Amino acid sequence: MIHFSDETLNEYLDNALVSAVLSEAESHLAVCPECAGRLSELRNLFAEIDLLPERTLERDLVPRVLSRLPESVLPRSVRWLAAAQILAAVIAVVIAWPLVAVVLPVEMIPQLPSLSEIIASLALRFSTLGAFQLSTYSFDIPSFSLGIPSATLAIALLGMSLLWLFSNGLLLIPRSRRHP
Amino acid sequence: MDDSSDSDLILRARRGESEAYGELVRRTQTAVFNVCYRLTGERREAEDMAQEAFIRAYERLGTFDVERPFLPWIRRVAANLCLNRLSAQTPDQAELEEERDKADIGEGPSSLVEQREQSWRIHTALLALPPRYRVVVELRHYQELSYDEIARTLDRPMSDIKSDLFRARKMLAEKLKDDSFL
Contacts 24+ apart (CB under 8 A), A161-169: A161/A89, A161/A92, A161/A93, A161/A96, A164/A85, A164/A89, A165/A89, A168/A82, A168/A85
* Per-residue pLDDT tens digits for B70-99: 999 999 999 999 999 988 875 554 455 445
In chain B, the percentage of residues whose pLDDT exceeds 90 is 66
What pLDDT is recorded for position A137?
52
Residue B73 sits at the chain A interface (C-beta within 8 Å): no
Q: Which residue has the higher pLDDT, A144 or A67?
A: A67
pLDDT band at A177 (very low <50, low <70, confident <90, very high): very low
Q: Using CB atoms and an 8 Å cut-off, which of residues 136-175 of chain B contact chain A?
A: 137, 140-142, 146-147, 162, 165-166, 169-170, 172-173
What would the mean pLDDT of A155-180 be, rounded to a whole number? 64
Cβ contact (<8 Å) for B16 and A14?
no
* Per-residue pLDDT tens digits for B126-147: 999 999 999 999 999 999 999 9
pLDDT band at B15 (very low <50, low <70, confident <90, very high): confident
Residue B170 pLDDT > 60, yes or no? yes
Q: What are phi and psi of A36, to 5 degrees?
A: -65, -35
Q: Identify the closest residue of chain B to A69 by CA–CA distance.
A: B55
Average pLDDT score over chain B? 87
What pLDDT is recorded for position A110?
63
What pLDDT is recorded for position B94?
44
Set out the domains of chain B in order of their start, with CATH numbers.
Answer: 1-89 (1.10.1740.10), 128-182 (1.10.10.10)
pLDDT band at A179 (very low <50, low <70, confident <90, very high): very low
In chain A, the percentage of residues whose pLDDT exceeds 70 is 62
What pLDDT is recorded for position B125?
93
Shortest CB distance from B26 goes to which of A6, A62, A172? Answer: A62
Q: Which residue has the higher pLDDT, A36 or B94?
A: A36
From chain A, pick out residues whose CB is under 8 angstroms from the CB of B171: none
Q: Using CB atoms and an 8 Å cut-off, which of residues 101-120 of chain B contact chain A?
A: 118-119
Q: How far is A111 from chain B (nearest CA, A)?
A: 34
Shortest CB distance from A73 goes to which of B5, B59, B172? Answer: B59
Terminal-to-terminal C-alpha distance of chain B: 48
A146 class by beta-carbon count within 10 Å (0-12 exposed, 13-18 middle, 19+ buried): exposed
Question: Please, how many CA atoms are within 13 Å of residue B171, restricted to the half-sphere of its CB?
Answer: 18
What pLDDT is recorded for position A42?
94
Domain chopping of chain A, boundaries: 6-50, 76-178
* Per-residue pLDDT tens digits for A82-99: 778 888 877 777 777 766
Shortest CB distance from A55 goes to which of B37, B137, B146? Answer: B37
- Most confidently predicted of A75-79, A83-87, A104-108, B29-33: B29-33
- Any idea how long chain A is? 180
* Per-residue pLDDT tens digits for A109-154: 666 666 677 777 777 776 665 555 545 555 555 555 555 566 677 7
Q: How far is B87 from chain A (nearest CA, A)?
A: 23
What pLDDT is recorded for position B101?
46
Residue B25 pLDDT > 50, yes or no? yes
Q: Identify the closest residue of chain A to B143 by CA–CA distance.
A: A50
pLDDT band at B180 (very low <50, low <70, confident <90, very high): low
| 3-state percent helix, strand, coil for chain A, nearest multiple of 5 | 65, 0, 35
In angstroms, the Cα distances linking B109 to A55, B99, B115, B122 are: 19, 21, 10, 20
State the best of A42, A62, A178 to mutate against chain B, taking most chain B CBs within 10 Å.
Answer: A62
